[in-house]
Amino acid sequence: MSAFGVSALVPGDWVAQPAEDAAYAVGVAASPGPLAGTFVVPDQGLVATRLDATEVGAPSDLYYLAAKGPILAQVTDRPRCTVTRQRIFVDHAPASMAGRRRSPGDFMASAAGTCRRGASVTRWSSFVAAPGYGPVREAGIPGSGLYVIVVSAPKSPGAGRTLARMLRHVRFGGDSARDFVRALHTA
């Protein structure tokens, strides 16, 4: 499935559709049943969105703040949810906040965990990137200021592999989350 320059690989029996929230993001969403509005953990599914900074017109510093704060917290700080792994790949506060003239203002992190709803347990994984003006800016879709991927599935012996496979196959333009991380190491 593909929409707005974002593509993903999901199970064939899932319902897939463009994900569009005129307030902030465009991309793709999918789940095993009908999609009802915004994807929220712990529901089973995938959402991969990007914020088109050229449409929003906000300063790049705000994408850094959104990625590090409310976007990451929206996934990691949910009731009855536990973070089992979190990795921050880069956290360079923008120059206006860091007091350094050449700080690129980029943030990139991944996280994984579980959520419990009654007797059911869901596993989830996420990736968030706000490329600022550093080397990661060359990855993804020109003009995008924020990238978010969230995938979830019922906890089962193969759930971790399924989540990793779905996350790995999300593309923003031609670039995956791994490509964003690789861009950090090429600078």
Q: What is the pLDDT of residues 45-64, one digit of tens each?
A: 898 988 877 777 676 677 77
Q: Which tokens belong to 17?
A: 């559709």
Per-residue pLDDT tens over the stretch 5-50? 899 998 888 888 887 765 667 888 888 877 655 555 556 889 898 8
Q: At which residue do the structure tokens 């969105």 appear?
A: 49
CB burial string 66-89: b at 16+ within 10 A, e below: bbbeebbebbbebeebeeeeeeeb
- pLDDT the model gives residue 24: 65
Q: Write the DSSP symbol of residue 138.
A: G
* Average pLDDT value for residue range 122-135: 85
8 A C-beta contact, residue 148 and residue 47: yes
For domain 2-185, is the CATH number 2.40.50?
no
pTM: 0.87
CA nearest 43: which of 53, 51, 35? 35
Q: Please, what is the average pLDDT of the chain?
A: 82
**181 within 8 A of 13, measured Cβ to Cβ:** no
Whole-number Å distance between alpha carbons of 15 and 167: 17
Which residues partner with 107 through β-bridges? 91, 130
Q: Pick 168 or 99 by higher pLDDT.
A: 168
Lookup: tokens for 59:
């300063």
Rounded CA separation 126/87 (Å): 10
Q: How far apart are CA 113 and CA 86, in angstroms?
A: 9
Band (pLDDT 50/70/90 cuts) for residue 78 is confident
